[in-house]
Structure 1
């Protein structure tokens, strides 16, 4: 009797749970699709996905457990955690490589394949879960080989990409401020103050961090720290002098203290972060001796690391080197073929340019750009691109394939960052991200490379003026 009575109750409970789960899944899928209808929203969703995967990897390695590896006996060497991190990031990396291959050559959302980039989130998540299951079938020896010959080189490339983006952003920020100042409009005084205060603040922050490093981390026996801080200070002075050198400014008038201040504050921060990330075996890192400070620095530092990685991947997609067809003069409209320049323009493209010019002059509202009536396309095509949030109908904002390749590099850097020679803290529940001499030197050398990249962008126009015609470029 009890079984008979419980049967409908169980069925009703299963039905309600199934409906509730289906509704939640549907809502999440619709929310992701809505956010992913714009190019920025899509990049943010992928960045959040990367962050979640990174946090799960971090927790798995800290706990030395794997919920996807039932019955596995974990030892004190961190075997479960190590291979779980590499399996999770291998699965997500493979997903991005698959998408990079599928989306090769996509130049607008009119391409059917663009849906795999901006929607189909449920399908991509199911594929991700399948790849995770597959990754746990692959033997451990594969990940030892893969980590050595693929993850480490990929992580190095990812760091280099991040440094290039930083130098590019420094120039972009300074040039934007200078252009607003030179326009002499009603906002020019604001931009002038913003430029001066920003430059002053960043140099002040660099000086403060340098003093703090000398006081806290550069004791008598701390030769590594003393060398790193001193070299960083020397490179800061060198970049400052180069930026204001008359010959440099003659070749590149927009070069100045603003760019060098941003590079200086970032590289000084990297050096200070290296000091706080090193072990305390030589009594050179006082931050790890206090339990409260230790836990706070571990969690906050780890979150900043993951967020910085997500920012780098998203920023790389929007950088000029990763731009799509919207930035090179080629667009795709309805059923018209792709064109480049003025010689091959079709009627729809000429109409688009005319409407765009009218919008810029203020004679037409911006919504006219999204009106598909002038395209002369079929109703099916017009309805397919009738999304007001779709900013890639006339060309992609970034290269989809390169976008996913950058994310693959990020997954491999995270795998290396979490697992390379990291040991459990004496105090605390979580393993710190990168508290090793190896990672400290990675940060220090990265700062030096960043100085070198910026120095080259400043010096190159003076050495090769024919290849850097800044007057015509700006």
Structure 2
């Protein structure tokens, strides 16, 4: 946290080198040290953690620069001896937030372009993804400083148009992943039950389904009790629509026609979607402004500063987790067969790889007696080691593209009609009607995406090889 709060000093040329040293020590270097101590920590995992740390620090920095808090504290500590200068640009506010996030966006976009077509860790460019942390951190810091040389007009255009589009794409991609997870979870449990006839997996599937439906019901009741009182028509409508859509998708999941085209469809998937959408609606109404006296959480003073800070940090952590999951799920999404269906195109266009051709050749030699039977066992070991050592675990370019649009969502979240909390001095993250409606509409879109995965095989059976 100390390194994050010291980043505004980068705007002061005399302190740039100190800020670079602090970030390097608290960022990638700390991550490398931690993963060196942990013998089971892979290079791929440490890389993703390092990028997530950079993203979180960048998000906290942009949040702090939303107001004059950091500047005022710095000048107060130095008894006004140090005057913060941002090369003639505004050091805080709308443009400053977009400058910081634009710098990280350019950082990831550049890496994504450089790493296009890298599918093997043996590729020399793969070292850029997993190493060179010192130069990369310095490049990120340099980009932040350089953005303050760009006129404010560019960031007004970027923030009002380009960033909003990127934020929308990020939200939709996250919802697609949620629907994919719902199907994957249910199918995994069903496959375990069919393969092992295990009571454990039956209990897991049934218990998790009931538990999530109960959780959705509890959240709905809490929302009606605390956020849907008289005069709160917006909250009442949002909660009621979410409840109605829960019943609709549950009914569609067990519809006989849907079951005929996809026997694995059921309440397990709809339970996951329902509880997640109920959670989205809950956080939406719990984060709205209290100008209509519909949010009792805001009127509960308590430790206002701590709650605002923790809320911001948890928001950035959630975005970082969603980003990493979205980026690293790319390979598995590419290999999925459409939630239990196999496309005709996938069957006909599969091409033999060099590894599979080598396996076929050795098996033919064993059948002819040219090689001993033990060659097959050695082949399996060698093939596994070769694949694990050479193939990347995820698409590097897509990984950076997801981070690129995540920065746009962070900047949009921070700059949409925000108001300073007078009790804490910070800007609460997400306490706007814009953010409230984004979450409400996201829940509706999630219901729609899930419904489409159920009815798509009925509407276009040829696409799914049915």
Tell whether the structures are fold-level matches, with TM greater than 0.5.
yes
Partner of residue 386, structure 1: none
Q: Is the 8 A contact 1:218 1:225 kept in 2?
A: yes
Deviation at 1:349, TM superposition (A): 6.8
Q: Does 1:428 align with 2:433?
A: no
SS at match of 1:449: helix
Partner of residue 177, structure 1: 189
Name the CA distance, whole Å, in 2 between partners of 1:29 and 1:296.
27
Q: Does 1:59 align with 2:73?
A: no
> TM-score with structure 2 length normalisation?
0.79
Partner of residue 412, structure 1: 408
Deviation at 1:394, TM superposition (A): 2.7
Q: Does 1:398 align with 2:401?
A: no
Q: Is the 8 A contact 1:174 1:259 kept in 2?
A: yes
Name the CA distance, whole Å, in 1 between partners of 2:58 and 2:309.
16
User: Unpaired runs of 5+ in structure 1?
Assistant: 1-16, 328-339, 355-360, 373-390
Residues 303, 192 of structure 1: alpha-carbon distance in 2 compared, 3 angstrom cutoff: farther
Deviation at 1:231, TM superposition (A): 0.4
Partner of residue 5, structure 1: none
Name the CA distance, whole Å, in 2 between partners of 1:157 and 1:227.
26
SS at match of 1:61: coil
Q: Is the 8 A contact 2:68 2:92 kept in 1?
A: no
- Deviation per residue, 1:382-439 (Å, 9 max, x gap): xxxxxxxxx8533222211111111000001101101111001232242111111111
Q: Does 1:218 align with 2:220?
A: no
Name the CA distance, whole Å, in 2 between partners of 1:62 and 1:220.
35
Deviation at 1:311, TM superposition (A): 1.7
Deviation at 1:281, TM superposition (A): 0.6
Q: Is the 8 A contact 1:74 1:80 kept in 2?
A: no
- Deviation per residue, 1:188-223 (Å, 9 max, x gap): 211111111111111111111111111111111111
Name the CA distance, whole Å, in 2 between partners of 1:371 and 1:260.
39
Name the CA distance, whole Å, in 1 between partners of 2:93 and 2:158.
16
Q: Is the 8 A contact 2:69 2:426 kept in 1?
A: no
Partner of residue 388, structure 1: none
Partner of residue 48, structure 2: 43
Partner of residue 337, structure 1: none
Partner of residue 261, structure 1: 271
Q: Does 1:442 align with 2:438?
A: yes
Partner of residue 149, structure 1: 161
SS at match of 1:138: coil
Residues 443, 371 of structure 1: alpha-carbon distance in 2 compared, 3 angstrom cutoff: closer
Q: Is the 8 A contact 1:324 1:396 kept in 2?
A: no
Q: Is the 8 A contact 1:417 1:434 kept in 2?
A: yes
User: Unpaired runs of 5+ in structure 2?
Assistant: 1-17, 75-81, 338-349, 365-374
Name the CA distance, whole Å, in 1 between partners of 2:397 and 2:324.
13
> TM-score with structure 1 length normalisation?
0.78
Q: Is the 8 A contact 2:288 2:436 kept in 1?
A: yes
Partner of residue 242, structure 2: 232
SS at match of 1:291: coil
Partner of residue 88, structure 1: 100
- Relative to structure 2, which stretch is displaced further, 54-63 or 254-263? 54-63
SS at match of 1:54: helix
Q: Is the 8 A contact 1:109 1:395 kept in 2?
A: yes
Name the CA distance, whole Å, in 2 between partners of 1:352 and 1:397.
27
Q: Is the 8 A contact 2:362 2:376 kept in 1?
A: no
Match of 1:274 among 265, 281, 284: 284
Residues 217, 369 of structure 1: alpha-carbon distance in 2 compared, 3 angstrom cutoff: same
Cα RMSD, aligned residues only: 3.6
Deviation at 1:157, TM superposition (A): 0.5
SS at match of 1:253: coil
Deviation at 1:291, TM superposition (A): 1.1
Q: Is the 8 A contact 1:170 1:259 kept in 2?
A: yes
Match of 2:143 among 127, 131, 141: 131
Match of 1:283 among 277, 284, 293: 293
Deviation at 1:353, TM superposition (A): 10
Name the CA distance, whole Å, in 2 between partners of 1:352 and 1:31.
43
Residues 322, 250 of structure 1: alpha-carbon distance in 2 compared, 3 angstrom cutoff: closer
Name the CA distance, whole Å, in 2 between partners of 1:33 and 1:351.
40
